[in-house]
Amino acid sequence: MKVPYLDLSVNDKNLKKDLLAAVDQVLSHGRVVLGPEITEFENLIAEMCGRKYAVGVSSGTDALYVSLRSLGIGPGDEVITTPMSWIATVNAIVLTGAKPVFVDIRSDLNINPDKIVEAITPRTKAILPVHYTGKICDMEAIGAIANEYGLLVIEDAAQAFAAKNSYGIAGSFGQVACFSMNAMKVLHSYGEAGVVVTDDESIKEKMVSLRYAGTVNREDCVIPSLNFRIHTLQAALLLVELKRIDKIISQRRRIAAHYEGLLRDVAVCPHEDTGSESVYYTYTIQVDHRDELRDFMANSNIETKIHHPILMPYHTAYNGCFSTDIPVAERAVQRILSIPNHENMTDDEVDYVASTILHFYSNKIV
């Protein structure tokens, strides 16, 4: 048996038919730039996140950048974030001119709110938590700190569309929240796409301006920016994907529960707090002998990933630029392994992945 990490080909005939019909519709009406599918997509996203406004942009990275700029974050400001994310998170902060400040994570790979207060300085402007692996951060604690110190909160919810906890849904917590819909994500386009949600009309207006060269009425540039418009074709494809998102998530959650039942004695499995529902963008286990296990699985034709093997402050572009005190993240990054958990997996494949891992550890003293 061969288990790919992810298979992006569309094999479901009905899904393919719907996607092609969506493309056909855009080609027929011809309003390919900021077409009606974008407004429809934005309205649906805002509604699903319990927000007043959504602004479609060209990627999750751009969503972060446009958000930060719409909040006026720039040179001289500090933004508190996690060391464990895709590098886009910190690139977006740095490219506004602001300085990222890294706060260590908890064992669930999300930022540790107990460490945030000691990282606050007079320059701190915002907290940018990342709902890593599709699990919502401790937003109650983060919100309380933000209120007390007068800080903005920007959610990087790129991995967590439709994830819930007992207080709300991903994207409903910060002044703004950012999603990525790139082809890998749980809600995904067939290319690049992103969206930002907010309840604040003036922030929404700024984002609309920032996504198109900083213009007002698409004419007069009032603030320098680049082109971050979402493609109408991607929005049209996303409208099709939105119809099956509940099914995708419940399938991923079913696989996750299955894995946990089989693997909890040999691996630290993702943990769900009471009342919360992760969407399992990745099913990331934490294990001893990680690299050896990964080789063993590769030899058994199972593709795995390490999300992400380099902590953000230690990428070449940033190494040595920022002081860090992140021992939990430094240990976790040596132990994380993302195993296949996409919605098209068969039960046999899930069992094969789990039994391969169990087989590996049966020869080890854990």
Ligand X SMILES: *Cc1c(COP(=O)(O)O)cnc(C)c1O
Q: Quick one: 15 exposed, middle or buried, by C-beta within 10 A (0-12, 13-18, 19+)?
A: middle
For helices 60-70 and 88-95, the axis angle rounded to 10 degrees is 30
- Which residue, 63 or 293, has its beta carbon nearer to ligand X? 63
- Shortest distance, CB of residue 59 to ligand X, whole angstroms? 3
| # of chain residues touching ligand X (CB under 6 A) | 15
- Shortest distance, CB of residue 247 to ligand X, whole angstroms? 22
- Shortest distance, CB of residue 13 to ligand X, whole angstroms? 28
CA angle at 60 for the pair 59 and 61, rounded to the nearest 5°? 90
- Which residue, 86 or 352, has its beta carbon nearer to ligand X? 86
- Shortest distance, CB of residue 155 to ligand X, whole angstroms? 10
- Shortest distance, CB of residue 189 to ligand X, whole angstroms? 9
Contact with ligand X (CB under 6 A): which of 26, 109, 158, 176?
158
One-letter-per-residue 3-state SS of 20-45: HHHHHHHHHHCCCCCCHHHHHHHHHH
- Shortest distance, CB of residue 173 to ligand X, whole angstroms? 15
Per-residue tokens: 320: 């040595």
Applying CB under 6 A, which part among 98-106, 110-118, 156-164, 331-339 lies near ligand X?
A: 156-164
Q: Reduce the DSSP state of residue 118 to 3 states and report it.
A: helix
Whole-number Å distance between alpha carbons of 262 and 44:
37
Contact with ligand X (CB under 6 A): which of 82, 124, 165, 180?
180
- Which residue, 51 or 131, has its beta carbon nearer to ligand X? 131
Q: Using CB under 6 A, which residues numbered 120 to 139 contact ligand X?
A: 130
Contact with ligand X (CB under 6 A): which of 100, 134, 143, 194?
194
The closest alpha carbon to 269, from 331, 335, 363, belongs to: 335
Applying CB under 6 A, which part among 32-40, 71-79, 153-161, 220-228 lies near ligand X?
A: 153-161
- Shortest distance, CB of residue 110 to ligand X, whole angstroms? 11
For 303, residues 6+ apart whose C-beta sits below 8 A from its C-beta are 3, 4, 5, 297, 340
Contact with ligand X (CB under 6 A): which of 78, 138, 156, 241?
156
* Binding-residue pattern over the window 264 to 283 for ligand X, x denoting contact by CB under 6 A: --------------------
* Binding-residue pattern over the window 48 to 87 for ligand X, x denoting contact by CB under 6 A: -----------xxx-----------------------xx-
- Dump strand ranges (E) for 23-150: 53-57, 78-81, 99-102, 124-128
- Which residue, 77 or 192, has its beta carbon nearer to ligand X? 192
Residue whose C-beta lies closest to ligand X: 60
E strand or H helix at 60: helix 60-70
CA distances from residue 13 to 16, 20, 156 in whole angstroms, order as listed: 5, 11, 34
> Per rule CB under 6 A, is residue 108 in the interface with ligand X?
no
Contact with ligand X (CB under 6 A): which of 91, 159, 234, 278?
159
- Shortest distance, CB of residue 192 to ligand X, whole angstroms? 6
For 297, residues 6+ apart whose C-beta sits below 8 A from its C-beta are 303, 304, 339, 353, 356, 357, 360
- Which residue, 78 or 155, has its beta carbon nearer to ligand X? 155
For 296, residues 6+ apart whose C-beta sits below 8 A from its C-beta are 356, 360
Q: Which contacts qualify for 106-109: CB closer than 8 Å, 24 or more apart?
A: 106/138, 106/328, 107/268, 107/286, 107/328, 107/332, 108/135, 108/270, 108/271, 109/84, 109/133, 109/135, 109/284, 109/332, 109/336
- Shortest distance, CB of residue 60 to ligand X, whole angstroms? 2
Residues that bind ligand X (CB under 6 A): 59-61, 85-86, 88-89, 130, 156, 158-159, 180, 182, 192, 194
